[in-house]
Structure 1
C-alpha cells in the first residue's frame, strides 16, 4: 500500500534540524525526544527517520533494520526513563494514533511512551 508523505510535517522538519527538540536518544534509524506538551511526568516520542506516515505504513514498508532499530530505541528510552518493570519502574503506556479516527495529529509515524504516574483507563466506556 502506498502512502503520500508530507515532507513539511513537524517531525520531518525536526529530523532535518529545522526545528529544535529535546533529544532523549537516537540511533541510525530513529529519534526519541520529549513531547512539548507532556501528558505524564515522562512523555517521550519515538519516530523513525524514514518517511512513514503511520504504524500501518511503517510495519508494512520499513526494512527489518529500521524496525529493529526503532524497537531497540523504544527499549532504551523505557530503560533510561526508569519506566520498565525490569529496571524497577512501575510500567508505562505506549500509544500510536493513525488516521482521523485515531486522531493522528502529525502525519509521521510516532510512538508516545508515557509513564511516571498511573495512566488511568485506556478508553472511557460508553453505553
Structure 2
C-alpha cells in the first residue's frame, strides 16, 4: 500500500520548505504560511499522526512542551494582548491537513479571529446535572468510574 502524501511529513523530512522556529526530538514548530497574524506558528509531531487522541504520551508531551517555549518567544517578540491555541480533528472541525498540528495565534482585542460561539452571546449554562451526566459518561470511557 502506498503511503498517503503528507505535507507536514515532507517538511519534517526536509522534502518541502518551511520557516522553522524550533525543533525537539518529537515535535517541530514552524511559521504557518497562511497566517492571519504575524507570529502564527504551528507545532506538529515529527511522527505522522492524524488526530490528537491518537498521539502517544511522549509526542503529546513534547508538542506541549515545545508550544510553551514558542508561546514565551511569541510574547517576547510580538507582545500580543493574548494568545490562542487551537487544534482541530476531522473535517467537521476544520482540519485541513490530516496530521496533528497545534496552532499558536497571537491575538489583539477585536481582531475577529476564532470566535468560540456563533453569534454574540454564549449558549446558556447546561446546568450541573447535565454536566455531571456528561462527566460520568467520560469517566466510564476512561475507566475511572
> What's the TM-score bracket when you normalise by the shorter of the two chains?
0.7 to 0.9
1:67 maps to which of 60, 81, 105: 60
Q: Tell me the equivalent position of 1:122.
A: 116
Question: What is the aligned residue count?
Answer: 114
1:12-57 CA distance string (max 9 Å, x none) = 1111111010011110000000000101122000000112101122
Q: Give me the TM-score of the superposition, normalised by structure 2.
A: 0.70
Q: Secondary structure at the match of 2:40?
A: strand
Unaligned runs of 5+ in 1: 1-5
8 Å CA contact 2:40–2:104 kept in 1: the answer is: yes
Q: Give me the TM-score of the superposition, normalised by structure 1.
A: 0.79
Unaligned runs of 5+ in 2: 121-145
| Larger of the two Rg values belongs to structure | 2
Q: Secondary structure at the match of 2:99?
A: coil
Inter-CA distance 41–123: structure 2 relative to 1 (3 Å threshold):
farther
| Higher helix residue share | 2
1:83-108 CA distance string (max 9 Å, x none) = 7xxxx753211111111211211000
Higher RCO (CA-CA < 8 Å; seq separation 6+): 1
